[in-house]
Each structure stands twice: as structure tokens, then as C-alpha cells.
A and B are shown apart, each in its own frame.
Chain A
Amino acid sequence: MKSTEQPRFTISPFLVFVFIQAMQFGSEYLSMSTKPIQWAGQDTWISVLLCGGCFHIAIWMIYRILNHNGMDLPGIHHQFFGRWAGGVLNFIFIVYFLLIASYELRFFIEIIQVWLFPELTTWPLALVMLLLVYYIVAGGFRVIVGICLFSLIRYITIFALLFPAVFFHYGNLSPVFDHSLNVLVQAGKSLTFPFGGVEALFFCYTFIEAPQKSEKWAYWANALTTVSYLLIILFTLLLFKPEQLPKEIWPQLTKYKFIQFPFIERFEYIGAASQILWVIPILCFCLWAPSRICKLMFGMKQLTALPFLFVLIFTAVCLIPGHESIEAVQKMLSEIGFYLIFAYLPFLFIVSVIRMKVRRVA
């Protein structure tokens, strides 16, 4: 089946791999290892695999829903639930994406404020980032995926993990399976927020050239994210004792303190500034998707909706003051994301399956 957009604006199925892993692997990975390791200690890697498996299933469900109906989520809402209820659900998604964008941006600005420039106020950086994102989004979906491809450069920082190798204590990984399944599931639950991002598939489905073919690439993207998170958790376990972690806010940035090249020592500058590679793709998509929903729901042009969303995100970012509020926002988003993937998605799937059966019978 072909996509419903003009071929000039579509992306090839392989780029879905790049896109989905850019959406999933956001900058929340910096602080993701503290809570699961509190719960599950040295068996956290099992929770990571568990979570990755759940998201595999989630992607499967998403593709079944999308393939059966051949359109993206706003259209599905419209069809399934009628105009008003569908509109409300679409609006919830708009708010959700705007919240994620504000959170990611504020998180990034906080990192810059703590690690690089303590005297930097929030709003100039937010303004510049949003202008940059506006320029990218105004170029269309293809440009956004191009930026995701460019941000793959961030995997070079994996080499940074080699430097603390002399400090690894392999004994931290054993004994294996020392924790109960309950605890592992708890740890897995706190990992759902970093894994989230697959709901982006709902909105870009019509922009893929041959949507059915892109399914396997989405699985590969999830696998890559799982492997990356596994590596991160592994190295955190090897490097830190579980008791050290509650005191570290961003353990992954701390690992940059170990790097010593012959000519560069304080690698944290580069590490903290390079977080922009994690943040920009998500910001771009989270600004593009609501404008697209607005276009489909209200019929306005995306370019006119963008400035409004821009202002909304800017005010939201400036209103979040300090570290505690950011953590509160993260908790809230984590809950919303969890229910989105594990409650709303199966519900949608069941409704879709019932409609298919009803249509076949009728």
C-alpha cells in the first residue's frame, strides 16, 4: 500500500529506523539509571530487556492498528470515536507533545546551566533553540528526519565509555538473579519513560513510502535503543556502587569526568554541550506533530499554527523554575506515558480488532 502523501515529502522505510530511535533515545537517559538500580541492583539489565520486549509488542500493536486502517492517528480517532470524542483525544495528544517538548527543552537548559554556564538565564537559550527548531520544522518532515540522521553522530560518545574501563569493578554484576520478579517489574516500570517515543509512529505513518515495509525497521530501532540502554545500565553498574547513585543526578554525564585525552581534560564541556544532539530531534517532532494535528482537525495551515505552539512552549519552559519542578514534571510525564503505552494502546488495539471483525462479518 502506498502512503497518502505526495512522494516528494515521504521518507524511505529505512529512515523509520533512524527516526524511531531518535525519538526514543532522548536526553532522559542521563538520569535514568538511578531509580531502577535502587530497586533491582545488579539485575537491572533484566528489567531493561523486559521493558524492551514490552515495547516490541507495543510497536507490533501500533502497526496492526495503522495497517488495518491505513491512516494516521487523528484520522483513526475520527473514525473510531466520532468527531467530538476524537477531537478531544487529539487535543490531549497536542497537550502531551507540547509537554514533552517543554520538558526536554527545560531539562537540556538545566544541564547547560549546571554544567557549563551557571549564570545563563533560561529564556535566551530557550528562544534560540526554539528558533532553530522552527527553521527545521518549516522545512518539512523530510528535514526533521534528516536532522535525526545527522544526530546519529552522538553514538561516537560511546567511545567515551572506554575511558573509565580501568575503574570497572566486574564484581558488581554478580550475583545474578538475586532479586524477585516483583522488584524487577518495578524497575521496569521506571524505565518506560526513557523507552517512550514509539507513539511518534502514529503521526508519521502517512509520510512513509511503503508503510508495511517499515515495520521491521521499527523493530530494529527498538532493538538498538534497548542495546544502548543496556550498555548504559551495564556501565553504570560497573562503575558505581548502588549507594553512590542516589547522590548523582546525572550519572551519565559524570562518566565524562573520567576522560583524559592528551590535549583535552575536562570532557564535560563537550559532553554537556553535545546533549543538544539528543534534544533537537525530539523538539522538532514535538513541534511538528501538534501543528499537523491542528491542520487535520481545524484545517489551518501548519505554518500559522507553529508560532502559537512556539509561544506556548516558550512560556511553559520559562515557567518551570528549578530542579525540583523539573523532576515533578518528569514524574507526571512518566505516568502519562506509562498509561498511554500500557493502557490506551491495548484499548485502541482491541477496538480496532473488533471493528475489523465486525466489518468482515457485515
Chain B
Amino acid sequence: MKRLLFLLLGICMLLTGCVKQQILDKITLSFVCAFDEAPEDQIEFTIATPKFSAGKSRTVTNILQSKIGHTSRNITELMSLQLNRPIKPGKLSVILFGKELAEKGLADDLDVILRDPLTSRRMYLAVVDGKAKEILKANFSSNEEKGMFLYNLIDTNVRNGIVPRQVLHDFEYAYVGKGRDPFLPILSLQNNQIMISGLALFKDDKYVRSLDVKQMQVMKLLQGNSKFGTLEAKQDNGTYMAVKNDESKVNYQLGNDVSSPKVTINLNLNAEIIDAKGTQLTIEEQRRIKDRFEQDLTTTGKELFQSCKEEGIDPLGLGDFVRSKTRNWNEEEWKQGYSTMNIALNVNVNLTEMGIRK
């Protein structure tokens, strides 16, 4: 009997322990937001919120909110003065950064996202060629919600395409960790269509250089094992041939000499010829094609290394690799020796298949 009294007492007290509700149809969700540079050291924060309608499960974004302020959370508060439902940031899946803001440094803006308990660490970040707000204003997806479209765009290309993966977790990992530098895909708007036009390389958290699509592809191949991508190369007789990457394996090796560090990257690619432009594929011809592709990849790779060394950035994580193989690794020494370091690239292309014709 006493227990019953206790329980009843507890239940009565519970009425004061109520917490704020977040009923789904009574809050404003946003899937994508954009940060831009604004005068006087401020940032411009834009979010795109979907509008749901009864009975139709397809939603179209048609509300855009944009404000200027010092911190994104304060901006959100100001925005809610204009909205009939409170904003909740829990569903953020893509964050866009304008180019100028990226050049200044992203770490400060990311702090608010990393600190929030409700955000996912798998959200995609991207740098926009120009102002991020412009992309959100454009009508690039007619019948799909903008945030979802962007998320699917980046996600598909990361999983099944040639864009190397860099989610929020990877970005922080590379930025904070020793021996690695982050990178992000670049989105650009052309004729009201969005495309991933390359890769943005960062030094610490500042945007310094961009890679074009071909270099981005090679970088993905060098970053880890991959099963996607199409390569094309110019042959001796001037035509271009295309092969499909069935499976590529890459491994790194450290040279034995401690005084002059050398890293050798071995790339092994199983390729399938998908476009031979009518050339007869004899054994001789195949060997020539193989050489051409290997040359092509090696050249692009070496260009990549050169530009990285010039800037002093390390997107592939060679420093991290060396750290895992040497005792008493020192980051400062590494950074000093990086620009003169010898990075060798051995590419081996195996033409295993050639479609259903010879």
C-alpha cells in the first residue's frame, strides 16, 4: 500500500517534469544550410526549409531564410522571428560553404555543429564556387527537395563514383589529426544545374587549392581501394580509349632510409575496356594501351604530388602513414622535410576484360 502511495506521488510530481515537445509537423526542419562571408567579420547563414502538404509525400522547397550575424545560432533565433514554427537543426544533411569563407577558415563555423548533440557526423560538407546562397536560391531540382537532392548528389558520387569521401567526421579527423589535411568537393552552378566540379584542398582549415575532375579521380584511386570510375587516355594514334575500373588496390610503402624519407605508392588497377573506338585488340595493342594508361595515371599523380608539395598540404595522409610506421615521429620535422620528400608512384594497369567483343 505504501508503495502505491509512493508511485502516485511520483506520478503527480511528473507533471512538473514535462519537457518540450517536438511534434514533427509542428517544427520547421531543414536539410541544408549555407554559410557565406559577410562584411564586418560576420557570416551570412541561409537555410532552405521544405514545405509538406497533406496527402502528397513529395515535397518541394520553397522557403529560403537568410540572415547576417555573428554566430549561426543567434541567426537562427532571429530567423524564428519570421517563422510560424520553431526551427530544429537535427536533420541537417548537407552544409555548403562559400569560397571566400572557406579561404578564411572553417573550424570556427564547424564548432557549433560538432558541439550539438543532435547533428550527425555523417553529413556532407561542400565548398561552393561563388556564394553558397546563390546555389540555394537557384531552382535546380524541380520536384525534389533541395537538401535531399544535394545530399543524394554527393552521396551517390561518393559511393558509386569518383568523388572521395569526406564527411564531417573525416574533415575534423584530418583537420585536428597530425599528418593529414582535409579536402571537400566543390559544387558549382551552371545553367541552373548543380555539378561537382572538383575537389577543394585545405591547409589546416583554409581553402588553398582546387583540383579538377581528373585529378580528383586519381586522388580517389590513390586514397584507397575503389571499384568505380572510368578512365580515358589518348593513344598513340590520337584516339581516346576508355576503360572501366573494376577494382583498384593501392598500398603504401615506406622507404628504409630514415634520413631521406621516401614513400612509394603502388597502384594496381584491374580494368575493363569499354570503348576501343573500333581498334583491333591484339596482344600488342593491349600492351600499348596498358602503357598509355599507366603513363597517363603516373603523370597526373605526379602533378598532384607536386602541387601538394608546393602548398605544403597532405590530403592523402602520407604523414599519418609514416607516423604509423616509425617510432618517435615528429610532426614538425615531417612538415619541414615534406617539400623535398620523394614520393614515387608505381601504376600497374591490368586489362582483364574487354566487354563482349574482341
Contact = CB atoms under 8 A, between A and B. Distances in A.
Contacts of A268: 117-118
A115 B117 CA distance: 5
A247 B107 CA distance: 13
Nearest to B324: A171
A266 B90 contact: yes
B177 interface: yes
Interface string A166-199: 0101011111001000000000000000000000
B19 A174 contact: no
A355 interface: no
A157 interface: no
- Majority-rule SS of B interface residues: helix
Contacts of A172: 324
Contacts of A119: 19-20
Interface in B78-93: 90-91
Nearest to B177: A241
Which secondary structure dominates chain A's binding surface?
Answer: helix
Interface in B4-46: 6-7, 10, 13-14, 16-17, 19-20
A171 B321 contact: yes
A260 interface: yes
A57 to B, nearest CB: 32
Given A244-B173, A244-B176, A127 B10 contact: yes
Contacts of A169: 173, 320
Contacts of B169: 167, 258
Q: How large is the interface on B (under 10, 10 to 19, 20 to 34, 35 or more residues)?
A: 20 to 34
A128 B326 contact: no
A173 B177 CA distance: 14
A258 B122 contact: yes
B122 A260 contact: yes
Contact of A257 (B14, B121, B328): B121
Contacts of A134: 6
A258 B121 contact: yes
B17 A128 contact: yes
Interface in A244-284: 244, 247, 254, 257-258, 260, 265-266, 268, 272
B277 interface: no
Nearest to B90: A266
Contacts, number: 75
A95 interface: no
A75 B225 CA distance: 64
Interface string B317-353: 0001101111110000000000000000000000000
Given A119-B20, A266-B120, A131 B10 contact: yes
Contacts of B323: 171
A135 interface: yes
A118 to B, nearest CB: 8
B56 interface: no
Contact of A120 (B17, B114, B178, B320): B17
Given A127-B10, A266-B120, A175 B17 contact: no
Given A120-B17, A178-B328, A257-B122, A240 B90 contact: no
Contact of B170 (A167, A260, A272): A167
18 contacts: A121-B17, A131-B7, A135-B3, A167-B169, A167-B170, A171-B323, A174-B324, A175-B324, A241-B177, A243-B176, A243-B177, A244-B177, A247-B114, A247-B176, A258-B122, A260-B122, A266-B120, A272-B117
Q: 8 smallest A-B Cβ distances: which pairs? A: A124-B17, A241-B177, A171-B324, A117-B19, A257-B121, A115-B117, A174-B324, A243-B176
Interface of A: 114-115, 117, 119-121, 124-125, 127-128, 131, 134-135, 138, 167, 169, 171-175, 178, 240-241, 243-244, 247, 254, 257-258, 260, 265-266, 268, 272
